Amino acid sequence: MKNRWIKLIGFFTIVTMLTGCDPLLVLDPKGPQAEVQAKDIMLSIGIMSFIVLIVFVILAYMLFKYRASKQSPDYKPPYIEGSTLVEVICVGIPVLIVIYLSVVSVDSNYKVESTPEKYEHEEPLIIYAATSNWKWHFSYPEENIETVNYLYIPVERPIEFKLYSYGPITSFWIPQLGGQKYAMADMLNTLHLAADYPGEYMGRNANFNGKGFTENTFNVTAVHQDEYDEWVNDVKDTAETLTEEKFDTLLEPGHVGQSTFNGTHLMFLPPPVHVGEEVEAAISEDDESQQNKN
Amino acid sequence: MDYFERFAIPHPSPAIYASMVAIGFTVIALIFVLTYFKLWGYLWREWLTTVDHKKIGIMYLISAIVMLFRGGADAIMMRAQMAVPNNTLLDAQHYNEIFTTHGTVMIIFMAMPFIMAFMNFIVPLQIGARDVAFPRLNALSFWLFFMGAMLLNISFVIGGSPDAGWTNYFPLADNEFSPSVGTNYYLFALQISGLGTLMTGINMIVTILRMRAPGMTLMKMPMFTWSAFIANVIIVFAFPVLTVALTMGTFDRLFATKFFTTTDGGMDMLWANFFWVWGHPEVYILILPAFGIYSEIISTFSKRNLYGYKSMVGSMVIISFLSFLVWTHHFFTMGQGALTNSIFSITTMAIAVPTGVKIFNWLFTLWKGNIEFTTPMLYSMLFIPTFTIGGVTGVMLGMSAADYQYHNTMFLVAHFHMVIIPGVVFAMLAGLHYYWPKMFGFMLNEKIGKITAWVIAIGTLLTFMPMFFSGLDGQARRMYTYTESTGFGIWNMISFIGAIGFTIGFMLIVYNVYYSIRYSPRNIGMDPWDARTLEWATPNPVPFYNFAKQPHVNSVETFWDSKNNGHELFPEPYEDIHMPSNSGMPFILACIFFAWGFSFVFSMWIPAILSTIGIFICMALRSLEKDPGYYVTVKEIKETEKKLRGVQ
Ligand code: HEM
Ligand SMILES: [Cu+2]
């Protein structure tokens, strides 16, 4: 009996925690993708709580009603084979639930794997995000600038992160903007995110990549477009130029803090092209526009 | 001197030196005790050379419990490190080694031998056989597992522990990023024990298909035997994948192949795919026998037949099939696109349906029963609600879009502990209490047992429920520390308190064993639990030949029928019994395998070649050897039986 009370209390704590004053990061979305995910999470918590509740109630009922101390000492339980009707219910209801969740899941898959609907008409900002042990290199090919361990992004505009790694598999994750995706050495991944509100967000590598994993984090600052443009101009005016030598020293294992550069490493060290022509084309285009500017 | 430098540990600490000393003393003490009490001969004759499935089962059991404490020590260190922000109890490197060892030990060297212990001990008894189909192979399986476990366990004092996670993801585990020999230990320890597991798989399948007592058709097999059968079928299909993956990893590390490298055409995610093609079925290899044990216990203590026997069998068959179709759910975030994720999301959630069917069947087994709260039953009743929480969070993880947020976080860690601990560990503890009298001839104390069950259940909830929250709050798994501003402190503190509860629970188990050895009555008869299946038709502890006479089976609960419905279990007269003889070969072969693995770990090629030759010589000798076994005469049987039953 005690057990059930613990569960019930636990249950209510869950509900209060989830809706409480200091919301958990993932359930406090600041972008459309994270919102889709938070909705799915809350929906599935709801449905799953219902299932847990049913199991608890049936269990409590059985244990209470049929425990030996409540029966006459000579009670002999009957032989019961099983019943088709019961089986159909026990299979049928879970199947219906799974079908419903499948529909939701498939729908959400396509949402998080494409440009957020809300900002479909905005031109996406492309940022290359690469890891090396244990840093993040962010290249802005359009702006031709590069940052280390921090991100500046405009709000209300779709952002396409192109992810890859100079080392083990890592995972790019900004919980409040949306779920994570792997960055690997031999292929380029795309993660679609967007921020609805200006603010500072926590970003990190979520996939274990050795000794410096814990500190493999980055800061995300989301600002309005005009502020963002200002920041870009500022960087262009003040930051040093990223040379091949400089980038090589950056790639060496260790922690380096934050830094900012003019130019990107994409010129001299192109990302993997495993995803196909699309990306290759994009890069050579960048190359051209680069040359034109010069 | 240079040569020996390789055996030094790369990241020493006082704790490791202390362990070295402790290990040294333990070994010396063991040798002293064995010599002083003249036990070497006993050890060799009765244990090292035995082919008796019951003794092998008990050796598996002891190894599993020892490994439970080893893995538990790792766990408590991790929880202590995480209990407060910015803790410096452990540094990053030690933390990495510890969580890697913890995961590997718990899955491969604790949970696996635990289920092996019960499969070995119970399955032949449950089907009315006198041993498994290939007794000597069975001994080899055990010793290979044992040597694999030893190999992994010496890593932290010789050469350094593995530190790339129990999932050992390449390219992180490749030489470039993990230069120490730790990962070699991982590869060879798993390879050697994996060979043993694969052999058990074949052995058990043949045993169950070929050695059932007359009258026991497939659909009259007890549920535990069914679950063992399915688990072993999964083993036979899944383990070769691990073997191949480990071999490829070994080649990458030792012979400079490029399967998983970041350059020269290696594929990052290839290892992860192989690993989980084995890894997901592996979790069902663990859970199905556990389900089998619960089925036996719940039916015994409800004093009722198992509800929905056919759908129980059916759901296991479906689970075994589906378990091979879901592996990518371990990396929905690989970037395989919405379509692939959708397919695997659906297959993943589909597994919850047959799992749910099993839960409901247990609930309906309670229905109209006469429920007795013994310790095994208490564990089973604590299992149902806690496992349900773990199971439904599995479904949540199965929603692939949402998994982008759960993946690699403490939420995932909470999920798999909430399924494996209630699912596997509770089952093993329930089975331990349930089958203890069968193994050792006396019962464990019920009162201490029940208190322990509550302590462990509360410990489970306290330790792992907070992780759901800290995961949703952005705490990634495998971080060795965090700052105060993250707000993870409170969750990790609760978790640490829960881990202390766990420790107390396991201490209580040890105390219970000690207490019961001293005070438990020995004349418990054949059937202390009023059970229903054939294993209880033998005396406690079981004589080496199991059944004096060949049992005949009429139903799933043939022993119950013989007690209550007039079924004649032993209609045949006594006959001479043919038994397999002992052999030192499995032990010796496994020792050579140990040397083989060790040589490869340190790339010592001459010993590696010599031990490889040694392995083939042993195999050749075995092939040429004639082993006719021996007969136990009717006279001997009658005397043994009189002695055993006379005691009652
Ligand atoms: C009810 C059915 C279940 C479903 C739908 C399910 C689903 C999942 C999913 C989707 C993941 C991957 C999550 C991620 O990495 O982001 C996962 C991980 C895992 N599950 Fe389950 N699961 C179920 C039952 C079980 C059972 C019964 C066990 C073990 C006995 C288990 C053990 C594990 C383990 C060990 C991991 C991952 C460990 C790691 O990454 O280190 N699961 N599960
Ligand atoms: Cu899985």
Residue B421 C-alpha to ligand 1 middle, in angstroms?
13
Mutate which: B472, B477, B557, vs A, most A CBs within 10 A: B472
A149: left (phi over 0), alpha (psi -120 to 50) or beta: left
Kindly report, residue by residue over B481-524, the tens digit of the pLDDT. 999 999 999 999 999 999 999 999 999 999 999 999 999 988 88
Instruction: Supply the pTM of this predicted model.
Output: 0.93
ipTM (interface pTM):
0.91
pLDDT at A290: 45
Kindly report, residue by residue over B613-630, the tens digit of the pLDDT. 999 999 999 989 888 889
Least confident of A22-26, B101-105, B371-375: A22-26
**Superfamily for domain range B1-301:** Cytochrome c oxidase-like, subunit I domain (1.20.210.10)
According to DSSP H, which parts of A134-204 are helical? none
Q: Is B345 on the interface with A (CB under 8 A)?
A: yes
What are the percentages of helix, strand and coil residues in chain A, rounded to 5?
45, 25, 30
Please name the residue whose Cα sits nearest to atom 35 of ligand 1.
B416
Domains and CATH numbers, chain A: 120-262 (2.60.40.420)
B530: left (phi over 0), alpha (psi -120 to 50) or beta: left
Residues 385-444 of B with CB under 8 A from A: 385, 388-389, 392-393, 395-396, 398-405, 407-409
Is residue B229 within 8 A of residue B212, CB to CB? The reply is: no
Please name the residue whose Cα sits nearest to atom 36 of ligand 1.
B416
- Mean model confidence pLDDT for chain B: 93
Residue count of chain B, please give it. Answer: 648
Mean pLDDT of B417-439: 95
Is residue A176 within 8 A of residue A29, CB to CB? The reply is: yes
pLDDT at B648: 38
Is residue B184 within 8 A of residue B601, CB to CB? The reply is: yes
Instruction: Give the mutation target among B168, B406, B416, B478 for probing the ligand 1 site: most ligand atoms within 8 A of CB.
Output: B416
Please name the residue whose Cα sits nearest to atom 4 of ligand 1.
B394
Mutate which: B359, B405, B477, vs A, most A CBs within 10 A: B405
List strands edge to edge, sheet with A145-148. Answer: A189-193, A159-165, A125-132, A135-140, A145-148, A259-262, A240-241
Cis omega (within 30 of 0) for bond into B541: yes
Mean pLDDT of A157-181: 95
Helices (H) and strands (E) in chain A, counts: 6, 12
Paired sense of beta strands A189-193 and A159-165, if any: antiparallel
Q: Measured between alpha carbons, how far is A126 from B601 in angstroms, rounded to an integer?
A: 45
Binary contact (B304, A48; C-beta < 8 A): no
Q: Measured between alpha carbons, how far is A231 from B314 in angstroms, rounded to an integer?
A: 63
Residues of chain A in contact with residue B263, where contact means CB-CB under 8 angstroms, are: 185
Binary contact (B404, A71; C-beta < 8 A): no
Closest Cβ–Cβ partner in A181, A206, A212 for B476: A206
Tokens 């019930």 belong to which residue? A8
Kindly report, residue by residue over B249-258, the tens digit of the pLDDT. 999 999 999 9
Ligand 1 is surrounded, with C-beta below 6 A, by B 167, 283, 286-287, 329-330, 348-349, 351-352, 355, 391, 394-395, 397-398, 403, 406-407, 412, 415-416, 419-420, 423-424
User: Residue A275 above 70 pLDDT?
Assistant: no
Token output for B312: 């129980």
Question: How many Cβ atoms are within 10 Å of B265's Cβ, its own excluded?
Answer: 8
Q: Is B321 on the interface with A (CB under 8 A)?
A: no
Most trustworthy range by pLDDT among A7-11, B155-159, B462-466: B462-466
Q: Measured between alpha carbons, how far is A24 from A18 in angstroms, rounded to an integer?
A: 7
Closest Cβ–Cβ partner in B93, B267, B356 for A94: B356
Kindly report, residue by residue over B447-483, the tens digit of the pLDDT. 999 999 999 999 999 999 999 999 999 999 999 999 9
pLDDT at B263: 83
Is residue B525 within 8 A of residue B33, CB to CB? The reply is: no
Closest alpha carbon to B435 in B292, B315, B579, B554: B292
Token output for A9: 């209390």
Kindly report, residue by residue over B567-594, the tens digit of the pLDDT. 889 999 999 999 999 999 999 999 999 9
Token output for B605: 């090629």
Long-range contacts of A70-77 (CB under 8 A, 24+ apart): A71/B370, A75/B370, A76/B303, A76/B370, A77/B302, A77/B303, A77/B304, A77/B368, A77/B369, A77/B370
First to last CA, chain B: 64
According to DSSP H, which parts of chain A are helical? 2-19, 32-66, 84-112, 225-238, 244-251, 277-293
Q: In a 3-state reduction of DSSP, which class is residue A286? A: helix
Q: Measured between alpha carbons, how far is B411 from B403 in angstroms, rounded to an integer?
A: 10
Kindly report, residue by residue over B604-617, the tens digit of the pLDDT. 999 999 999 999 99
Is residue B141 within 8 A of residue B200, CB to CB? The reply is: yes
User: Residue B351 above 90 pLDDT?
Assistant: yes
Residues of chain A in contact with residue B473, where contact means CB-CB under 8 angstroms, are: 24-26
CA angle, corner A101, sides to A95 and A103, nearest 5?
105
| Residue of chain A minimizing CA distance to B457 | A3
Using CA atoms, how far residue B474 sits from A163, A193, A216, B120, B470, in Å, is 20, 17, 14, 43, 6
What are the percentages of helix, strand and coil residues in chain B, rounded to 5?
70, 0, 30
* Phi, psi of A128, deg, nearest 5: -90, 125
User: Residue A7 above 60 pLDDT?
Assistant: no
Q: How far apart are the CA of A177 and the nearest CA of chain B, in angstroms?
A: 10
